[in-house]
Structure 1
């Protein structure tokens, strides 16, 4: 028989990203069974996750990268897609019924059932979104669903496949987590170049292998006790009826040891793990002192916190189960090995101790090639369940799209649009619009004035080479291209830019003719204007006078045969005026030049020592003073 070549097409890569560890498993699915090919586990070196929530994305990504490297070394091929599960932190569940009319003559196929289920999940999503709008809370993503009951022509039925009827229906229980929880998982995968193959909830995954469908007629509870959370699922009448979560688990026990034994978290974790295997445990506290503690002392120390953990899990189980204890409880996860926890849990639920049990990999009936190793206990169950759920529902929950020449996989439980895909390239809707350049608002001669910044150029979006926007629906295989927006340039203005606005035609205007005052200071026309500045533009006094001269219409008239010549003194300078019959004071500016470059201050005219008017008549020998 030829040797099987393993690759991405015939294997499933499952990843259990937990609060304390990251476990990776590559399995071969054959006729409903899973054969474990290779697996790896890496422990977080710091508390990068708390209560099932990723707090430090780079550190968690680093742990995942180590798991991938170890697996790829054994596999001899690169892994690209991965099935993952989320802890039930801030879990929301919505139960709804969905109906669908079908033609009488059509035999019901699996694809029709899949469509029915997906429609139910989408309905649950809409219900949750409506509730979220009322509370103004964050978005939620569906991380798994289960069908409580199927119906054919309104009658309950176990399996719709192969039947015919007018109407099919299903009671769907959909589970949702906050977008922040799901997005942090996706962010980790993106950092290590992995695409999500399937996303589920940890208790759903554990249920798949610990409480298979044939056992779900019984009223059972599954508890996945990790380091940060204790996730719960309840079964009865052939389906999973409820999901829940207690934000208390193994880390609380570790923290008690830290506080009482004066040790760091990692040392406390090692002590906790040694309780079941050692009667005396040696350790070093934070002061560097070598210490020894016996098992009995440890158990007495931890008893109150173990009792509290059992109490919280039991209370949640009873609530989810409609106020009564289930027939039995099956525990998985590393936290389930806390000494005496199962006994205390049985006591709280009023069950015989043998009714609350720990399930290991050896209890999974559809798992082959189980080897005794560090992952053969309850801590290695959930990752197998992730692989099993992914194999069962492969390809039903995701679509693949290309964004700017990179392929991404999206969870497909509602109508997806462009904005959902853009999350993968870390481009927010606000960035698509760009920013206009900053305006300059200032005051010009007592009036408010604004110079506007350059307008931004919005991003260009296309889907399959056709113009699109953020709300454009997308489907499997779509090609999305985004040309990023271009920000507008900030406004720039200088004083001289406003000469024409104040003085009209500036082609005949000398810059020295303008008096420019910015925020009370004299400036030239090249001075830049800033937001909030106060600008005053005026002709200096001499130019006002010359302007008056130019607009007065007064010219030197020459009378035929008559040339009335007179001599006057202007600022001590003797000048002769000729060519006119009569002269007025303003005419002196046709004979006397003023140095505008050195002109400052106020302008004053005196005629024979008296304050003068421009229209004063001049006589031979008059004395004129121009003062500024």
Structure 2
């Protein structure tokens, strides 16, 4: 017995009922009825008035029942124009994490799908994002650190992102469809999507590996489906279709809408067309004249279709198939081919005659208008879309089996936020190391644990009716556990030879001002300082020679209560034989010598102050130069008079006393010569200054020649 199939194509303008008989692998249309809606109860594929639509469905059903008996179950399709497409982007930080694998990328993609679902719900003013079924999605672009990349597998960087386009079917479309059928005393036997129906009968599975765009051009919208890689990869819709052409004819020739629709259908390249406008004037025009007058509207339709195809497919497809009454728009195939830069024979209108396994019948006219109704009947029976139920964390979820469903699809439908399944990274530490701020990241969170019927599964694993999914969120990471040595590496050390003795110096570690060990663990907000002997000062500090630093200052004392800084240093430093300062750098095996200056002679202090403690003049006596001195000032320390060779110490308080200025006289020479007058036995002498006779109190000057001449008494008497 041949099987009869009852199908309905519930469109925006009309409802088409069809009785299809299956005989083996062949199909034959036994009956077909089309009734227009009595009022505008459908809009863009969505039932707005269930009662009105149900009334038309019931009328179609009853007319068919008159010939074919009672009809209880029906195959229907959700309109392609009801599909919602949303494009969005999901971004994820991957800094310091291991290279990305397939599961990480799928997680990123599904997060983008869920984001698209939320954005769609918000744009449609829906409170619940799960009121949409995800029919499918396509990846448009991957990006790594802002640059487009072909694949994210095994990539590393700071930020990964994916841009996707996802297609959703509102649950209300299906629910309102079921409600209308129930009011017409019908039960939904099977469900399909209109684009899938047309593709099913025109593009067999063996051809779906080809990149083909199928466009169903109706009255108000043009529905688009893309095939590639053996499946349907994208769906789309543009709100431009056959009515645009009808309206253009109406505007151009002053025709009412029905007359303009009639003119459109009569257009033929081989015939002229007659029309009567609203004023009663009759006009007869050639095909080319009419087409030229409405060319802008045809261009708009072609351009809208091409732009949507390119948006969905990202490139020109290999071929384009047109179905639906609007596909007969004059010159449309040529314009689409030109705009997509395809050969003319790669864009074609396909009619019922192209449906495989369909026996010819006088009931169904050839042409593209009834491809979709027949496709609904065949596809809904051969490849129906069923509800399946799965359990996610003990909650029952119902999904439409529109494609190969995966664990990820179930989580989306359950409203589980996929981007929150992974454990959060542990809290990072912020520390200061040698006055520089740095961040130490915590450990990564673990991936979620997904069990499918008790066994570990991934987001991409397929699911079947009745299966149980258990999802456990990944564990959060923890704060870093790292020692000072692990952070900074080996702590440096060096050898320095100080005053002939070798000193080995290790760097010192200070944490928050306290001496620490290299094995100590770092805590958040620690202030860490690594003190390495980089300079002479650091070396002396780290070897307990700080007294050298303290005493490394100018030699300072006080003269008459005035502070005096000598050129000399209390501590003098040489590095490798050269004078050095405390802040000079020091290296491994450097020779460092430090000398302490505890005192200086008083004469050095007076010389620095340009003060003379005595006055001096040179004179000649008996052909020998003698330097005569006379004190100018006296220097006292604590009341004690100092000699010019006496030592002076840092911090000493010195006071000076000036003497009255007196000239040098001849008798001053006697303090510097040895003259024994006891042996003279009354001898007399004379004093000569520069050959002139003088006296003891005569003044002398620098360079004077002094002489004493002795004479006995007889000689002197004779002379007298």
Calculate the TM-score normalised by the size of structure 1: 0.49
Calculate the TM-score normalised by the size of structure 2: 0.43
Q: Which has more strand, going by share of residues? A: 2
Greater Cα radius of gyration, structure 1 or 2 = 2
